[in-house]
Structure 1
Amino acid sequence: MQRSQLVTKDLVLIGGGHSHAIVLRMLGMKPIPGIRVTLITEASDTPYSGMLPGHVAGFYTHEECHIDLRRLAQFARVQFYRDLVVGLDLVNKKVICANRPPVAYDLLSVDIGSTPAQISVPGAAEYAIPAKPVAQFLQHWYDLCRDVTTCRDVTCNVSTLRLGIVGGGAGGVELAMAMQGHLQSIRSPQPPLKRGAKSSRLFREEREDRDLEIHLFQRGAELMPNYNSWVRHRCQEILIHKRIQLHLQETVCEIQSYPTPYTYTGGFPNPPLPTPYTIKCESGLQVECDRIFWVTQASAPDWLQAAGIATDERGFILVNDALQSVSHPDVFAAGDIASMVNYPRPKAGVFAVRQGKPLFKNLRRALLGRSLQPYKPQKQYLSLIGTGDGKAIAAWGKLGFGATGWLWRWKDAIDRKFMQRFSNLPQMQEKGQKSKVKSQTSKQIPNSEFRIPNSEFPMPCAGCGSKVSSTVLARVLNQIKQDSTNWCNRQDIIIGLDAPDDAAVVEVPGGLWMVHTIDHFHSLINDPYIFGQITANHCLSDIFAMGATPQSALAIATIPYALESKTEETLYQLLSGAVKVLADAQTPLVGGHTTEGSELEFGLSCNGLVHPNKLLRKGGMQPGQVLILTKALGTGTLFAAEMQRETKGDWIDRAVTSMLQSNQVAAACLMAHGATACTDVTGFGLAGHLYEMVRASRSVGISACAVDLNLAAIPALEGAIATLQKGIVSSLQAENLRIARFITDLNIAGSESLSPSARYSLLFDPQTSGGLLASIPAEQASQCLDKLHSLGYAQSCIIGKVVDLEGDRQPITINLSNV
């Protein structure tokens, strides 16, 4: 690596708001030399505020109105830390997170939007659903829609569903109309009425009104106080026309739940919603509701003021014209969380979007030591307010117009164009062609062929854990054996290179055997703390798979070239992750070695102790047993697809969650239920490791056995089948496919519903920190599975059975029937 590419400074972005999304896209287009960028965010996607009401109204899917931050970070080549920020150390320049070590920065930018204001109204915090965080609100909304759909599908004796919305600003008004439109479409799905069908329309409206009540509470005398009078009055007219019940000049003072469980008598829905509530107002008004949504003014999180940064009276960061903190020059802020001293503006998404480009420019200039450029937000801005029925109202200063369908279509076009900037990311030209971009493409393999031409993949992907193929390894070991005159003749070596297993085994004093293992690979994720945890889990799995108890570990790490302080930060994050997992396994890290290189690499040498009678090996399967797999497959294809930006952030989140799950408890459970053979599924894929178990079982003197594998039962990580159907596979897949010559496929070509080609390819997908594969007595299987599920291994399942090897049968037979 050239000296100019050394990491010299850390730019940390807190939050994935609109401004930061634009900054990330611009960073991908124009990286800043020598700058390491880290995004810290609670979720892998972020909602676009302009499309959220349309999403609630049912016009957009979740994916259409959310920006995939993981994919965007991959494009921008930035570190992605999924965590909750809980504090700032402005003196030592560190970001305090909830679930990881502090993150150091040289320059910091904050774009976390606003959070729910502290609700002082008694009962509101317990019983009301705040509009923010959006993800939490949406989950409640999805649950409500599901309940309504369930009620409709079982033809309930429907009574009235009552919703309360507290807050009559633009957010509450638009939410009320969007909710009404969607719930009516769910409860009374009917084809569009023909022209002239006035009586039918009136009948349907009356029936819908009887089935659904929406109450909107506003403290002031008018709705939407930040809009002009025409827009306020027009929105009020529409709400009245839609029979949304307005409660103006009503201050909510308490939310009560019924003191005893309320019993529905054939009413809405079935099964019933949670206990209804009562909204009480200072005037004495009381309204019973089944759900209450809180859409009042939001504020900033408490940790900003606690950190000592300058804020306004509501806790938002005060910034100058360059979006720079007025008290801390190394902190920038944008979006709702920022308040410009010289240009106070409403908390609206349009300003966050407009601030993205000037924020990027000033962050870049600050990092390069240049003077900052002032930004002046516009005074007037266009606001398009959806009415929940495919129409919208336009507001511009003192002007207003609508509601009309063409205004909604205009709004829809504007919003979709904005979102396309993040879904259709450009692909940079290689070899120094700085200014050229091209449409995103990815080299993929047709569904019918899962082999990888070498010319198309000059370098390995991250999905294979950087494994050398099994055939290459075997050839090298055989050659070394022939070249060596002192080949493993010592009596204390129980399992060595002569009989490879998950780990080597050496006899030690005291009647115990010591299990040795080592693993090392390139980082497959741009978060060293998470990578350290994944690596530690992966390395310890060999110890657990052999029934041993880990004793100690040595580390070897390659850290990317950087200034000393930056190298220290990377190593700190990496080892903190590894030590967390090692500590959970009560395994001390006793030493190691570090070096510098072009990319992050990490490995551990682990050892453990086991009593000879407790040792589990790959060889040991017996006819009549069943095969249990404790984790889903698919890490290879998913991380190969991530390199091509062909995954969803949620898919990678779920894969990471799986890789962070230790196999220690699962191994103990399998042993407690009579496991006689076990291995962890890693780089050679399920088929490769299963073949090793069959071959090893023959070599230890057990009667010849084979395996009947149920292809349909094999669990897949979310998204893995989709990426395999696109032909996206790990670079080790073609080598793993060589095991296919030992597999008999009975009826894979006969099924259409199970995507046979993708399911078949899943067998050869290399895994990083994969699950355990074990054979146990059939009579223990049900109890073992129940226990695994209760221990958190939710995708554990029986994937096949061990049978006698008869005639010229292949070691592995695949079918699509039940075991």
Structure 2
Amino acid sequence: MKETEQPVLRDIVLIGGGHSHVGVLKRFAMKPVPGVRLTLICRDTHTPYSGMLPGYVAGHYSFDECHIDLNNLAEFAGARFYRDQAVGIDRASRRVICRGRPDVPYDLLSVNIGSTPQVTDVPGASDHAVPVKPINGFNQRWLALLERAETHSGPMAIGVVGAGAGGVELTLAMQHRLRNEYRARGKDPDQLSFHLFDQASELLPTHNERVRQAFSDTLKKRNVHIHLGNAVTGVDAGHLRTNSGHSFDLDEVLWVTRAGGPEWLRNTGLALDDGGFIRCRNTLQTETDDAIFAAGDIANVVDHPREKAGVFAVRQGPPLADNLRRAAVGKTPKSFTPQKTWLALISTGDKYAIASKGDRFFMQGRSVWRWKDWIDRRFMKKFNELPAMEESSALPDTAAAQNPEEASQAISAVAMRCGGCGAKVGSTVLSRALGELRPIERDDILVGLHAPDDAAVLTVPPGKAVVHTVDFFRAFIDDPYIFGKVAANHSLGDVFAMGAEAQSATAVATVPYGIESKVEDVVFQMMTGAVEVLNEAGCALVGGHTGEGRELALGFAVNGLIDPEQVMSKGGLKPGDKLILTKAIGTGTLFAAHTRLAARGRWIDTALASMIQSNQEAARCLLRYGAKACTDVTGFGLLGHLVEMTRPSEVDATLDLSAIPVLPGAEETAAAGILSSLQPANIRLRRGIQDQARWVDHPRYPLIFDPQTAGGLLASVPADQAEACVAELRSLGYPLTAVIGEVTEQGDAIEPITLRD
């Protein structure tokens, strides 16, 4: 993450990862505004570039070649990336309402979410048609359709509703790809048939006559059945009906028309047009609210209406960024006038394309496709090949402050800070941030979080022993809500690994200096995530301490209760037991790569999903299958924790490298030499491996030293119980659980660990 001494004064929140917003992120990355923080809210980590999507469908591009990695781009821009979906805007309190996380406050807001198919207007379409928009969710739908087509036997008919540029280009791309797939599998490609429907009387109505004629000729030559002047009136399973009274038997129906704004925009109070798109002025500010901007397909710039095309969203990126920048520092946004004509490059699926501009210019051929390919690749290179950025050492800048009090707080935030109790976060800020938290209540908690006392009071039920542990670490991602979840889950791990139930937790947090409203939100977001995890575990948050510091950090002291006869300890390994690991490893190398913009966003998504998964049910399952030895795999890595277990148990162990579950991308980043800063300390434990020189070139070798955050459980169970235990763990939601080795008698060698492939 980019670090800065500049306190946050203004929050710009971007809803959606469309073409305009990726331009905003890149522009702010190259020229940040002191005191202005960007937050991107998007449900998908990889956003497609619409210009290359038909080429991807046709099989000419890989997924990564035509998708922008928003995780890396946000990291590059110093922006927070919240992987969630906006479902509302509370304009009165200036907060974005999200589907799965706390509301996100904003000072300025921009919406770039594309359009949504209005399939509900046609009976059956929402259940039986595949919407192409929003395009950021299209890949999953396309892969599912591709799989169905590849496994289909006999004739197959595919219908596309919408004969504009998008529908025509998609039809030809799909036809090219599927016919090639059929040939590759020894199937007759002529079993495929394609139908194109539109209520309009002509193809590509916004393009010139030569373009329309060229595509009409191509479609006919490719035996695509064209049904113009046929409005679709209903879709059933396997059937499509039109207003002409005809019914068509179709195995798949794709919807590329009648797009509009999402329903939730209607509850925002923003002025919308008849299609549900946001009405905007020439500055890209909404007609209703100067603090809210919109761009791309979702915006209707009322003085300059234009076709819904990616070229306009791309061109709106720079003026949108400039006007957000101006508004953030109190300047008046400037008007923007889009071009009246634009270069349209439409492919025919087979590396052939047609170019046009306005009513006069027209070209076609394979050279046009190569031209288009060059333009598209050049565009993608700007966002996927990000240059190294120099760290900024600028002095505090209060240009974004909107009043003298904010400027004073900002100067104070980076001046010489008090130590000791003077470094605590103010009580008013803290009480507001924590006031909405609702930790669970337990009968054995006599004095808890919301009591005025300075310490919690707990009772220990008869027959129980107390387990006590503490963990603390700095943030490794820019999302305080997700960080709070991971920190709480990590801290609970030691309690669960011993077979205990969590009782209470006390938090210790460090929050970066800043003005009160920003500090309050960070504390609230972080502790909301943490309390959700603690509550799910039945663990009551009973108190804590929050202080100021350079970096966001969080930890917990956790109390647990355990039956003294049911303790799983590191010293319980028995010869003949099987070693079970419940989660994949690789978080250390992946997040080291993340800070260097060398990790795919989807790899980080998968790693975070693993890190917020609780070990509670896994520990209970291991106990049921006779586990006596268990530990959570954290900072010392898989090998370090296994060595820790062998020593008190007076046994040796064998690890099967090929059986160890590994997070997606971890082998790639480790092979590139991108390793955690803790790796050198962990790798000293190689002296515990017999014949270790033999294994140093194995792709899994560096990963057994990889430090984990909120890792899985490493446990031993009797050999005759291992298979059933693994099956139940997988059914409980730990799908990568595996037997990764076995416990052996202690041998003569001083090294306790043997590796095998």
TM-score (norm 1): 0.82
Q: Tell me if 1:18 matches 2:13.
A: no
Aligned to 1:369: 330
Aligned pair in 2 of structure 1 residues 632, 389: CA closer, same or farther (>3 Å)? same
- Superposed, which structure 2 residues align to 1:147-166 within 5 Å? 147-149=148-150, 159-166=154-161
Q: Tell me if 1:568 matches 2:520.
A: yes
Aligned pair in 2 of structure 1 residues 672, 431: CA closer, same or farther (>3 Å)? same
- Contact 1:688–1:736 (Cα < 8 Å) also in 2: yes
In 2, Cα distance between equivalents of 1:80 and 1:431: 21
- Superposed, which structure 2 residues align to 1:498-509 within 5 Å? none
Q: CA deviation at 1:88?
A: 0.6
Q: CA deviation at 1:399?
A: 2.4
- Superposed, which structure 2 residues align to 1:526-565 within 5 Å? 526-565=478-517
Aligned to 2:207: 227
Higher mean alpha-carbon deviation, 717-726 vs 176-185, is at: 176-185
Aligned to 1:775: 716
In 2, Cα distance between equivalents of 1:399 and 1:338: 28
Aligned pair in 2 of structure 1 residues 402, 185: CA closer, same or farther (>3 Å)? farther
- Contact 2:119–2:125 (Cα < 8 Å) also in 1: no
Aligned with residue 170 of structure 2, among 175, 183, 191: 175
Over residues 460-490 of structure 1, what are the superposed CA-to-partner deviations in whole Å (9 max), with x where a residue is unaligned? Answer: xxxxxxxxxxxxxxxxxxxxxxxxxxxxxxx
Aligned pair in 2 of structure 1 residues 3, 690: CA closer, same or farther (>3 Å)? closer
Q: CA deviation at 1:300?
A: 0.4
Over residues 571-613 of structure 1, what are the superposed CA-to-partner deviations in whole Å (9 max), with x where a residue is unaligned? Answer: 0000000000011011111110011111100111100111110
Q: CA deviation at 1:3?
A: 11
Q: CA deviation at 1:747?
A: 8.8
Aligned to 1:323: 284
Q: Tell me if 1:741 matches 2:721.
A: no
TM-score (norm 2): 0.89
Q: Tell me if 1:719 matches 2:670.
A: no
Q: Tell me if 1:802 matches 2:754.
A: no
Unaligned runs of 5+ in 1: 152-157, 191-203, 258-276, 435-505, 699-704, 750-754
- Contact 1:230–1:400 (Cα < 8 Å) also in 2: no
Aligned pair in 2 of structure 1 residues 187, 433: CA closer, same or farther (>3 Å)? farther
Aligned to 1:52: 53
Q: CA deviation at 1:123?
A: 1.4
Over residues 27-83 of structure 1, what are the superposed CA-to-partner deviations in whole Å (9 max), with x where a residue is unaligned? Answer: 111111111211100110101011111111111111111000000001001111000
Aligned to 1:360: 321
In 2, Cα distance between equivalents of 1:430 and 1:128: 49
Match for 1:102: what amino acid?
A: D
In 1, Cα distance between equivalents of 2:4 and 2:252: 60
Q: Tell me if 1:617 matches 2:618.
A: no
Q: CA deviation at 1:697?
A: 1.4
Q: CA deviation at 1:756?
A: 4.3
- Superposed, which structure 2 residues align to 1:586-735 within 5 Å? 586-698=538-650, 705-735=651-681
Aligned to 1:218: 198
Match for 1:279: what amino acid?
A: L
Aligned with residue 285 of structure 1, among 227, 240, 246: 246
- Contact 2:686–2:692 (Cα < 8 Å) also in 1: no
Aligned to 2:181: 186
Aligned with residue 393 of structure 1, among 339, 343, 354: 354
SS at match of 1:279: strand
Unaligned runs of 5+ in 2: 396-457
Aligned to 2:223: 243
Higher mean alpha-carbon deviation, 118-127 vs 624-633, is at: 118-127
Aligned with residue 758 of structure 1, among 699, 702, 705: 699
Q: CA deviation at 1:670?
A: 0.3
Match for 2:177: what amino acid?
A: H
- Superposed, which structure 2 residues align to 1:185-204 within 5 Å? 185-189=180-184
Aligned pair in 2 of structure 1 residues 748, 713: CA closer, same or farther (>3 Å)? farther
Aligned pair in 2 of structure 1 residues 208, 393: CA closer, same or farther (>3 Å)? farther
Aligned with residue 343 of structure 1, among 300, 304, 311: 304
- Contact 1:84–1:98 (Cα < 8 Å) also in 2: yes
SS at match of 1:758: coil
In 1, Cα distance between equivalents of 2:63 and 2:712: 31
Match for 1:565: what amino acid?
A: S
Higher mean alpha-carbon deviation, 297-306 vs 520-529, is at: 297-306
SS at match of 2:604: helix
SS at match of 1:80: strand
Aligned to 1:478: none
Over residues 295-349 of structure 1, what are the superposed CA-to-partner deviations in whole Å (9 max), with x where a residue is unaligned? Answer: 1121001111211011112111111111111110110111111111211111110
- Contact 2:20–2:320 (Cα < 8 Å) also in 1: yes
What's the C-alpha RMSD, in Å, of the aligned pairs? Answer: 2.1
Q: CA deviation at 1:748?
A: 4.5
Match for 1:661: what amino acid?
A: Q
Over residues 220-250 of structure 1, what are the superposed CA-to-partner deviations in whole Å (9 max), with x where a residue is unaligned? Answer: 2111112222222221111011110111111
SS at match of 1:620: coil
- Contact 1:677–1:775 (Cα < 8 Å) also in 2: yes
Q: Tell me if 1:254 matches 2:255.
A: no
- Contact 2:567–2:628 (Cα < 8 Å) also in 1: no
Q: CA deviation at 1:9?
A: 1.5
Aligned pair in 2 of structure 1 residues 177, 400: CA closer, same or farther (>3 Å)? farther
- Contact 2:688–2:750 (Cα < 8 Å) also in 1: no
Aligned pair in 2 of structure 1 residues 558, 388: CA closer, same or farther (>3 Å)? same
Aligned pair in 2 of structure 1 residues 118, 149: CA closer, same or farther (>3 Å)? closer
Over residues 428-472 of structure 1, what are the superposed CA-to-partner deviations in whole Å (9 max), with x where a residue is unaligned? Answer: 2346599xxxxxxxxxxxxxxxxxxxxxxxxxxxxxxxxxxxxxx
Match for 1:337: what amino acid?
A: I
Aligned pair in 2 of structure 1 residues 771, 723: CA closer, same or farther (>3 Å)? same
- Contact 1:725–1:757 (Cα < 8 Å) also in 2: no
In 2, Cα distance between equivalents of 1:80 and 1:347: 26
In 1, Cα distance between equivalents of 2:544 and 2:392: 37
Q: CA deviation at 1:392?
A: 0.7
- Contact 1:626–1:798 (Cα < 8 Å) also in 2: yes
Over residues 2-25 of structure 1, what are the superposed CA-to-partner deviations in whole Å (9 max), with x where a residue is unaligned? Answer: 997111111111110011001101
Q: CA deviation at 1:147?
A: 4.6
Match for 2:139: what amino acid?
A: L
Aligned to 2:444: none
SS at match of 1:744: coil
Q: CA deviation at 1:122?
A: 1.5
Residue identity (%):
50
In 2, Cα distance between equivalents of 1:572 and 1:107: 20
Higher mean alpha-carbon deviation, 309-318 vs 653-662, is at: 309-318
In 2, Cα distance between equivalents of 1:517 and 1:21: 43
SS at match of 1:188: helix
SS at match of 2:705: coil
Q: Tell me if 1:524 matches 2:476.
A: yes
Q: Tell me if 1:786 matches 2:727.
A: yes
Aligned residues: 694
Aligned to 2:436: none
Q: CA deviation at 1:402?
A: 3.9
- Superposed, which structure 2 residues align to 1:446-465 within 5 Å? none
Q: CA deviation at 1:746?
A: 7.1
Aligned pair in 2 of structure 1 residues 514, 507: CA closer, same or farther (>3 Å)? farther
Higher mean alpha-carbon deviation, 771-780 vs 277-286, is at: 277-286
SS at match of 1:308: coil
Q: Tell me if 1:143 matches 2:144.
A: yes
Higher mean alpha-carbon deviation, 319-328 vs 568-577, is at: 319-328
- Contact 2:4–2:392 (Cα < 8 Å) also in 1: no
Match for 1:253: what amino acid?
A: T
Aligned pair in 2 of structure 1 residues 380, 247: CA closer, same or farther (>3 Å)? same
In 1, Cα distance between equivalents of 2:216 and 2:363: 13
- Contact 2:27–2:321 (Cα < 8 Å) also in 1: yes
Over residues 763-787 of structure 1, what are the superposed CA-to-partner deviations in whole Å (9 max), with x where a residue is unaligned? Answer: 0000000000001101110110110
Aligned pair in 2 of structure 1 residues 135, 626: CA closer, same or farther (>3 Å)? same
- Contact 1:393–1:400 (Cα < 8 Å) also in 2: no
